[in-house]
Amino acid sequence: MKVWLDGNLVDKADAKLSVFDHGTLYGDGVFEGIRAYGGKIFQCQAHMDRLFLSAKKIRLEIPYTKQEIVDAMMQTMAANGVVNGYIRLVVTRGEGTLGLGPNRCPRGSVFAIADQIELYPREMYEKGMPVIIAKTRRTSATMLDPSIKSLNYLNNIMAKVEALDAGVGEAIMLNEHGEVGEATGDNVFIVKDEAVLTPPPSAGILLGVTRGVVLGLAGKLGLAVREQTIMPQDLYGADECFLTGTAAEIIPVTKIDNTSVGGGKVGPITLRLTKAFHEMIREK
């Protein structure tokens, strides 16, 4: 495997960051997870815009232009023979001194990995996935801007640990007000009375790229679509539930804690949106 690291394609064994890199020491950096379909980068502009916005918000200067980074991803895909796959693009604060000061890091570091990813078993996409509502709450939006896709995912990881301990694939996280936020790496949707509902930005969520695509597809299908506050009881009482994310795409949820959703079967609107999503990919 080849990894693009600061301007060069290097062997996986040689793709190394300094132990003094503040991404390693403090989780100081930003990233994007990106899909490639048919040799093309899916929603490339949206991912580039979010990466650079995240970096700007933490005052991290990316030492390459957007086009240079897109070229780097394409080179990495070609070097690894990836036509349909996943790209992990990371920008760290770069090598510095011990201590938090970002001003001690003269130049950021960028790397891109192109490989395959499978978050959940294939049968879960066909039959649905059980999830739990985590006890771990999402970091408040008053503490950290949720639009920043940073390298520090410990809050999400602790909720993921809860899911693994419960023997399920995912956990849905509530915000500090007890409202539904998002899953550990995906956005949350429910269907109620044929309306597609998802938490609003005010719930402290990351505005996922796939979330935006699905909202657009729902509108094109003539479905009622609303961003609104969702509470745990709304999850339990939903007709359907599904999660969206770049790596996950669209995955149905058929059980939340000990409550079956939609009679434990994948719902018709989830199926329609999944079909429309894959048709859009083929067309593009």
Q: Which amino acids are annotated catalytic?
A: 149
How does strand 187-192 pair with strand 240-245? antiparallel
Amino acid at 214: V
Give the phi and the psi of residue 283 in degrees, each rounded to 5: -65, -40
Q: How many CB atoms lie within 10 A of CB 59?
A: 9
Among residues 44, 92, 93, which one has the least CA distance to residue 69? 44
How does strand 40-41 pair with strand 85-92? unpaired
Q: Cβ contacts of residue 165 below 8 Å, gap of 6+?
A: none
The strand pairing partners of 109, in sequence order, are 92
